[in-house]
């Protein structure tokens, strides 16, 4: 099953909402530091409600420790970015994909994007809207991957 990776998330409620989505879908959630908050942050906990016991959460202190972890497990790294090359809906997902999302303020760092197997974007036709909320973007990407892989039954 695809996994969600948040690289340097900054806003606790977004991460809490994403954790809730991961709990509901049985999706592993990987947080890559440094984070813009403490794991014990009350806003993070509140957004995740009482679902935290059901989140398969992994914390990686650095990009290096995350990269070592995913290389041991295998799979493709798919970077979601407003500067992605492929529309997420036209991309063929695989069960061992890692869906990477960057911080709310800066997106994925260039060194992460350059290492990704593919970079995907969510089309937004309005010229004045730069991006969607991080938790919305994660849900869109995750549910499209799950739909393609037959996990929505």
pLDDT of residue 134: 96
Pairing of strands 98-101, 86-87: unpaired
Contact 52, 38 (CB under 8 A): no
Q: CA Rg, the chain, in Å?
A: 14
pLDDT of residue 13: 86
What Å distances lie between residue 65 and 26, 52, 118, 153, CA to CA? 23, 23, 21, 35
pLDDT of residue 60: 97
16 labelled ligand-binding: no
Contact 14, 25 (CB under 8 A): no
CA–CA gap between residue 54 and residue 4 (Å, rounded): 15
Low-confidence ranges of the chain (pLDDT < 70): 41-49
Q: Which domains does the chain have, with CATH numbers?
A: 3-148 (3.40.1280.10)
102 labelled ligand-binding: yes
Global pTM reads 0.94
131 labelled ligand-binding: yes
């Amino acid at each position: 099953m695809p996994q969600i990776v948040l690289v340097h998330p900054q806003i606790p409620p977004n991460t809490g909402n994403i954790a809730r989505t991961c709990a509901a879908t049985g999706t592993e959630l990987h947080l890559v530091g440094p984070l813009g908050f403490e794991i014990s942050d009350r806003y993070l906990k509140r957004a995740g409600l009482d679902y935290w016991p059901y989140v398969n959460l992994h914390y990686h202190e650095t990009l290096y420790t995350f990269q070592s972890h995913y290389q041991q497990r295998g799979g493709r790294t798919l970077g979601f970015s407003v500067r992605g090359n492929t529309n997420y809906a036209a991309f063929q997902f695989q069960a061992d994909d890692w869906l990477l999302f960057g911080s709310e303020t800066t997106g994925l760092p260039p060194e992460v994007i350059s290492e990704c197997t593919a970079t995907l974007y969510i089309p937004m036709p309005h010229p004045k809207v730069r991006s969607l909320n991080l938790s919305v973007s994660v849900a869109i990407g995750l549910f499209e991957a799950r739909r393609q892989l037959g996990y929505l039954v």
